Amino acid sequence: MKVNKVIVPIAGLGTRMLPATKAIPKEMLPVVTKPIIQLIVEEVENAGFKEIIFITHSSKSSVENHFDNSFELEATLEKRVKRSLLKEIKSLSNLKVSIQSIRQGHAKGLGHAISCAKTIIKKESFAIVLPDMLIADKSKNNNLSKLKKEFEESGLSQILLGKIGNKELSNYGIAKVSKNKILRIFEKPKISKAPSNLFIVGRYIFTNNFINYISKEKNKVSNEIELTDAIQRFINDSNEILFSYLKGKFYDCGSKLGYLKAIVDYAIEDKTVSKEFKSYLKKIK
């Protein structure tokens, strides 16, 4: 069972990162020299997907523009013989994946954002990648690629899970599992009610029928249409969801601390600044 489409919901307002996100979409915040959304698109491309569907908002035009041609900039780089930069800029508009956008209209929650893609998904299976959850894995055999392979071999829905400490459990969707199956999802539970320390890392692949489980009714607690509610209904209706374990580091770039950790680790790996940056870090210790 092939899967080629990936839904990337970017309509959120990024309130946890205000005031920076008042005028700049959180997805465009830079991690050294690349905005978060570019790293996400590179991950999707390296995993072998063919199409990306942005679920967007009127304030997010800069995200779409980032992957468009920039003739003036390219001409300037050409004139100044900045060939490596020119190549990198041109690559943004020559991706191996196609990108299209759908406006969410009203911010009714993550579940509602995913349902907005129904007319494009049609009868196909699909993946979901949350753009604020960054995974430090640039290889073509990355976590998302492995999830895709597992799905295509088994024909069963897949979710990527990682392990976190008790203090972070109330920030994420937490899974109750048995062997390699997910039995139940708890949305941001208290430590005392969490069934495990396994959290959803924002990477999902579903069979096509999953989209029909997204309710039009808002969750009574969050007052939003939740993705986790749809997942639980899907499981309760005898649909199996398998899981894989995260390999490598993840960064919650929707939070200040997670974003800062990403900048530090990516800067250490950046050959253009790594040596001087490491030296600086030693000094401030």
Asked if 102 and 116 touch (Cβ cutoff 8 Å), the reply is yes
> Mind giving me the DSSP string for 215-265?
-SSPPTTTSS--HHHHHHHHHHTT--EEEEE--S-EEETTSHHHHHHHHHH
* pLDDT value for 81: 62
pLDDT in tens, the chain (285 residues): 899 999 999 887 777 778 888 888 888 899 998 899 999 999 999 999 999 999 988 777 888 777 776 666 666 766 676 667 666 666 666 677 888 888 887 778 889 899 989 999 999 999 999 999 999 876 667 899 999 999 999 999 999 999 998 888 888 889 999 989 999 998 888 888 888 999 999 999 999 999 999 877 677 677 678 899 999 999 999 999 999 999 989 999 988 999 999 999 999 998 888 999 999 998 886
SS3 82: coil
CATH number of 5-284: 3.90.550.10
> Mind giving me the DSSP string for 126-181?
EEEE-TTEEE---STT-HHHHHHHHHHHH-SEEEEEEE--GGGGGGSEEEEEETTE
* pLDDT value for 60: 77
* pLDDT value for 94: 66
Q: Where are the domains of the chain?
A: 5-284
* pLDDT value for 33: 85
Nearest to 56 by CA among 95, 20, 99, 17: 99
Give the orientation angle of helix 143-154 with respect to helix 36-46, to 10 degrees.
Answer: 40
Asked if 86 and 39 touch (Cβ cutoff 8 Å), the reply is no
